[in-house]
Structure 1
Amino acid sequence: MERQVLPTEQSSAPAAPEPSRRDTGLDPTPTGITVREALALDVLAGATVLAGAQGLDRLVTRVNVMEVPDVLPWVRPDELLLTTGYPLRQHGDLVAWVRALDARGLAGVAVKLHRYVDRLPPEALAEADRLGLPVLALPEELGFDDVMNTVLTLVLNRRAVTLARAEQVLDDLVGVVISGGDLDRVCEGMVRHLAEAALVTSMDGRVLARAAASEEVLQAVLALPCFDPTGRFLVEEEVPGVSVEHEDLHRMVARIPGGASDLGRLVLVRSSRFAAEDRHVVVPATTAAALAITKQQAVAAVEARYRADFLRDALLGRAGTPDRVLTHAADLGWDLDQPLAVVVAEVDGPTEHEGLAEPERFRAAWRGAAATDDPTTAVAGFSQEVVLLLGVPAEAEPAQVTERVSAMARQVHGLGGGGRRTFCTGISRTLTDVADLPRAYAEARKAVQVGRRLHGPRATTHFDALGVFRLLSQIEGREEVDSFVAETLGPLAAGGDPDAEDLLHTLTVLLDNNLNVATTARALHFHYNSLRYRIGKLERMLGPFTTDPRLRFAIMLALQVRQLREP
């Protein structure tokens, strides 16, 4: 894959957004002609390239004449500098001068030879070749005013055409949005005006809309390395404003600005390379996309709030009779007249520098994953959690339901674009009556809380998999439980001391291996006799747990409680 920067483009993003074309990630490159195109003009017939032929695609937007040796302070980017060669006679170091011109973004230098200078130093031409700075030899009879008039007239005409084209695109696409068109219609407009395929994505890479000249083109685009296997666009890897070529397809990405934060990305793909003038057409397209996204977000926010309010009432048993809940859910496109499992995805806490849009992206990622699994799944987002009412077969085992939800969680965590937030997922037992929704919701929330304690962030836990923790988690009074742990584990209960924690770890592994000393020694990488010594020390502290099954059970229970109570 070859990554190319468009002419005069800076690959780094601006330090802060400002209300200009730069918000799209596309620097406001002026319209012009290339040095190669200038050489093809009749007025420059007879001009030859002395050096820097690889830079003939540099952009020319203005023409200047060099009359004094110290012309550098007046040189501007994208200029074609004309000179008779007279000022060059007083230059002591033309190699450094060539470097300075290139550093200022000059388009090229055109020199009349044989009048004041017969030739340019070979080392200066070699430096121009190295830098790709075109150095042209002009016919002696050529008038500079003819060159300036012809080139600038062509530049201005092309600029007028480009601006007219951009205005036409703006009128077309904004008109589409105002008349009720959505993002798909905006993408279709970009296919008409500029690209062979156009996609709008969210900031986490979900494709919100797309259009292409044909299904074959669309499939080729989705196979590009900028998309992961699930179809998510890799926003974090794609630099806005950069033209990238891969297998004869060129793509360009632009930001869709939306005030304090970007609303998404506009991805354009075609078989020919994007020219500098195309940037002016992309800018109105991002404006139209921003309008469509804002409108869509406003409508979705109202609908999501209504859905969330209804689902919250249903989960709390306040939505009315089961028949009313089923009827209302069906009106919203949710099928609750089937065996269900309540799934709760609760964030582990706000991430650093989290923006206001991050919770909505989290909810949207879950909605997308649920829609892929079953379009009739009820999904609603609350403050720090997303709740799903997932249809499941009545005979499905907890492990089967867990695997299905885990696949959805993996999509949201990483490939689905929700990786900016870590979260834990809890699953209730299967219910067959919507009247049981409050109980199942409580089970799913408990599975989240206990699963996070036991397995840490990103855990997916079924309520039936909690085992004894399911009972322990129901105990509300902490004082009695803490007293039991302190009495059972004695000096090891408080923790914090490295030696005590080491002994607790040894005890846990020993009990997990059913008191098998040889297996435990291998698991801990201890010598057999060293483990025997530790077991003796533990029995002096806790009692003869290796021979007393009741004491052993009490210790195992205390260890489980301690694990559950750990922050």
Structure 2
Amino acid sequence: MSFFVFLVRVIRVMESRTDLWTRRAGETHNVPPRLRLASTGTLTYGLPVSEVLGVSTLAEAKLMAGEAGLGRIVQRLNVMEVPDVLAWVKPNELLLTTGYPLRNRPAALGHLVAGLNERGVAALAVKPGAYLDELPAEMLAQADRLGFPLIQLPEDVGFDDILNQVLTDILNRQAAILARTEEVHRALVQIVLAGGGLQEVCDELAVLLEGAVLALDDDERLLSAAGTRRDLDELQDWLEAHNDHGLHGDRVVVPIAAGGLDQGVIAAYCPGGTLSETEVGILERAATVAALVLTKQQAVAAVESKYRADFLRDVLAGRAGDDDRVVAHCAGFGWDLDRPVVVLVASLDLDEDDDDGAKSAQERLAAAWTAAVRRRDRTAAVASFAHEVVAVLGLPPGGEVHDLVGGMVREVKTVEGLVFTTGISRPAEDPSALPDAYDQAGKAVRVGRQLHGPGEIAPFDSLGVYRLLSLVENTEELHAFVRETLGDLATDVDPEAADLRRTLQVLLETNLNVAETARRLHFHYNTLRYRIGKLERMLGPFTEDPHLQLNLNLALQVLRMRGI
């Protein structure tokens, strides 16, 4: 077999192997020797130039320039025997040449170095003698400026020996790494198959890496941790200051991805040493297993959440059985309904046409409400229904519910920035009273939204007559009642009409106390007497007719309601 036929076969084999391992690898910078970690989290295997120079066939080779680039990774080897080689080189190649293509153009070697560097070539190894007596000074200076390793090969070493030995070292190294990571992968998968979770995976990693391991979700909340307290604190502090994936000496951050979505990260800290390919490969495999664990947990949580929501819906509908059965069943969920409670309903104020946005907002609202309620009452029942979040909360000491709910509402709005109306029921002493309490909280949401607009907190006890008015389904009838009762005062077209309506409202609120009304409105007593006379000419003798007073009061309350 001729040398060039052998050469072509070796290069093809090498490229097919390395392409398999680096298919998804991307360009990264400021990464220590031995490996790079692509933005996708996939390792790019290979040998740094410094280790390539340590193989026996290159024992007599000399580094002529570009010492700063000894950490560049070699994944492929190629031979330069054509002048226009730049069109054929690939990143991370070690390029070998006798200088034959440029034998008559030594000045072009400086430009060659710049071109190879731009294309990501790892290093250039030149065998002088037959076609090139020495490397030009300009070429050496350019290599030093760019940190591009320029190697002078021994005259008595053949290219085929270099190709064979370096390729063998790369393949052996990668095979060992893959074997080790595959072994660890099987061990981690076995943990999951045996019923272990993310904590057990992190415990195993901490032992394998002899360091600290943290698993965080996509909101940077801690999922599990393993290692000494000191190392964990060190890793946690470092993560707060650095949010980039990749390898950073003795620290590495690998993304956990499943279904095309980021589920979080696994971070490791190995004090006292730089992480190797094997260790980072282990962490990558662990991230895959962690994605499996998280996906399984999410699936189980979704089923459990639906089951809990269905049962709570049955409780609030009064079809879950007697009180003892309800209390016992809820205790299995960690809910305590054997105590005085109140029902809270939080309903989003969204555009009804935005179905996709509504679904996402509902999920965020449910998660935020659950967290807020759990921080205050760990045994409260919380569930997400189709268009609302429902919580059955223990009655706080002293019965002051409004302040407690107000704190939760502010917390949820701060975290998620959502706008929603919250209804609060009357206290329910036992589970049999929960259907009525749920109905009260739902009415409080609807009426509160009509009275005050979106984003308000509406206790059922504060609704008063509005509860009755909200039951009138025929809003046209309400409009007609307002027009018939208030006449010209029913609209805001005339500014004087709105002013007179305000005077009427305060009069009725003070039970026709003229002096108190004048004080509140800052009117002279005679001015108010004049206004009362004008109102009676427009509306009738309401100061003497209690039935007319009632009608006027109702009409003014209807005007305060929105959405009718």
Does the TM-score normalized on the shorter chain lie above 0.5?
yes
8 Å CA contact 2:254–2:283 kept in 1: the answer is: no
8 Å CA contact 1:49–1:137 kept in 2: the answer is: yes
Partner deviation per Cα, 1:208-241 (whole Å, 9 max, x = no partner)? x3122123333444445549xxxxxxxxx956xx
1:253 is matched by which residue type in structure 2? V
Partner deviation per Cα, 1:492-519 (whole Å, 9 max, x = no partner)? 9789xxxx6x979x979x99xx99xxxx
Question: Residue 163 of structure 1: CA displacement?
Answer: 0.5
Question: Residue 559 of structure 1: CA displacement?
Answer: 4.8
Question: Residue 174 of structure 1: CA displacement?
Answer: 0.8
Secondary structure, counterpart of 2:45 in structure 1? coil
Distance 1:254 1:211 in 2: 16
- The yes-or-no answer on 1:481 pairing with 2:481 is no
Aligned residue in 2 for 1:264? 263
Distance 1:55 1:8 in 2: 20
Partner deviation per Cα, 1:168-189 (whole Å, 9 max, x = no partner)? 1211111011111122212222
Pair 1:434–1:102, CA change in 2 (3 A) = same
- The yes-or-no answer on 1:191 pairing with 2:192 is no
Question: Residue 398 of structure 1: CA displacement?
Answer: 3.4
Greater shift, 218-227 or 279-288, is seen at 218-227
Distance 2:87 2:432 in 1: 80
Pair 1:110–1:451, CA change in 2 (3 A) = farther
Partner deviation per Cα, 1:441-481 (whole Å, 9 max, x = no partner)? 12333344455567766655544566776565444331222
Greater shift, 380-389 or 143-152, is seen at 143-152
Distance 1:315 1:399 in 2: 21
- The yes-or-no answer on 1:75 pairing with 2:86 is no
Distance 1:145 1:376 in 2: 73
8 Å CA contact 2:413–2:419 kept in 1: the answer is: no
Select which of 372, 396, 399 maps to 2:399.
396
Distance 1:67 1:40 in 2: 25
1:321 is matched by which residue type in structure 2? D
Partner deviation per Cα, 1:41-76 (whole Å, 9 max, x = no partner)? 45245522513x443322111222211111123212
Aligned residue in 2 for 1:213? 227
- The yes-or-no answer on 1:315 pairing with 2:316 is yes
Structure number with bigger Rg: 2
Pair 1:473–1:94, CA change in 2 (3 A) = farther
Q: How does 1:373-388 map to 2 (within 5 A)?
A: 373-388=376-391
Select which of 420, 429, 440 maps to 1:443.
440
Aligned residue in 2 for 1:371? 374
Structure 2 spans left out of the alignment, 5+ residues: 1-23, 29-37, 508-533, 544-548
Query: What CA RMSD, in Å, does the superposition of the two structures yield over aligned residues?
Result: 4.5
2:70 is matched by which residue type in structure 1? L
Q: How does 1:1-20 map to 2 (within 5 A)?
A: 9-10=26-27
Aligned residue in 2 for 1:431? 428
Aligned residue in 1 for 2:522? none
Secondary structure, counterpart of 1:387 in structure 2? strand
Distance 2:141 2:461 in 1: 76
Distance 1:126 1:155 in 2: 30
8 Å CA contact 2:124–2:150 kept in 1: the answer is: yes
Report the TM-score when normalising by structure 1. 0.71
8 Å CA contact 1:75–1:104 kept in 2: the answer is: yes
Question: Residue 423 of structure 1: CA displacement?
Answer: 4.8
Structure 1 spans left out of the alignment, 5+ residues: 1-6, 12-23, 228-236, 516-539
2:563 is matched by which residue type in structure 1? R
Pair 1:49–1:203, CA change in 2 (3 A) = same
- The yes-or-no answer on 1:156 pairing with 2:192 is no
Q: How does 1:107-146 map to 2 (within 5 A)?
A: 107-113=122-128, 116=132, 118-120=134-136, 122=138, 128=143, 131-146=146-161
Distance 1:460 1:49 in 2: 77
Secondary structure, counterpart of 1:565 in structure 2? coil
Distance 1:55 1:118 in 2: 21
Partner deviation per Cα, 1:516-535 (whole Å, 9 max, x = no partner)? xxxxxxxxxxxxxxxxxxxx
Partner deviation per Cα, 1:261-284 (whole Å, 9 max, x = no partner)? 437123213146655555533443
Question: Residue 314 of structure 1: CA displacement?
Answer: 1.0
Pair 1:111–1:135, CA change in 2 (3 A) = same
Pair 1:305–1:157, CA change in 2 (3 A) = same
Distance 1:103 1:490 in 2: 84
Work out which structure has the larger RCO, using CA pairs closer than 8 Å and 6 or more positions apart in sequence.
Answer: 1
Pair 1:173–1:365, CA change in 2 (3 A) = farther
Pair 1:368–1:146, CA change in 2 (3 A) = farther
Aligned residue in 2 for 1:534? none
Pair 1:491–1:94, CA change in 2 (3 A) = farther
8 Å CA contact 1:392–1:401 kept in 2: the answer is: no
Q: How does 1:159-558 map to 2 (within 5 A)?
A: 159-194=174-209, 196-207=211-222, 209-224=223-238, 226=240, 242-243=245-246, 250-258=251-259, 261-262=260-261, 264-271=263-270, 278=279, 280-348=281-349, 363-406=366-409, 409-410=412-413, 413-414=415-416, 423-450=420-447, 461-464=458-461, 472-484=469-481, 557=557
Distance 2:27 2:358 in 1: 26
Distance 2:452 2:147 in 1: 58
- The yes-or-no answer on 1:560 pairing with 2:560 is yes
Question: Residue 297 of structure 1: CA displacement?
Answer: 3.5
8 Å CA contact 1:112–1:140 kept in 2: the answer is: yes
Distance 2:148 2:453 in 1: 58
Question: Residue 159 of structure 1: CA displacement?
Answer: 0.3
Question: Residue 305 of structure 1: CA displacement?
Answer: 3.0
Q: Aligned residues, how many?
A: 489
2:379 is matched by which residue type in structure 1? T
Pair 1:485–1:214, CA change in 2 (3 A) = farther
Report the TM-score when normalising by structure 2. 0.71
Select which of 50, 57, 64 maps to 2:71.
57
Greater shift, 91-100 or 300-309, is seen at 91-100
Pair 1:162–1:322, CA change in 2 (3 A) = same
Distance 2:383 2:170 in 1: 55
Distance 1:96 1:493 in 2: 87
8 Å CA contact 2:256–2:288 kept in 1: the answer is: no
Greater shift, 72-81 or 165-174, is seen at 72-81
8 Å CA contact 2:65–2:148 kept in 1: the answer is: no
Question: Residue 162 of structure 1: CA displacement?
Answer: 1.0
Pair 1:449–1:354, CA change in 2 (3 A) = same
1:565 is matched by which residue type in structure 2? G
Distance 2:174 2:71 in 1: 17
Distance 2:452 2:274 in 1: 50
Partner deviation per Cα, 1:402-435 (whole Å, 9 max, x = no partner)? 2342255257x44xxxx7x765443333332322
Pair 1:278–1:9, CA change in 2 (3 A) = farther
8 Å CA contact 2:340–2:430 kept in 1: the answer is: yes
Partner deviation per Cα, 1:278-327 (whole Å, 9 max, x = no partner)? 55334432332233234334433443333222211111122222233222
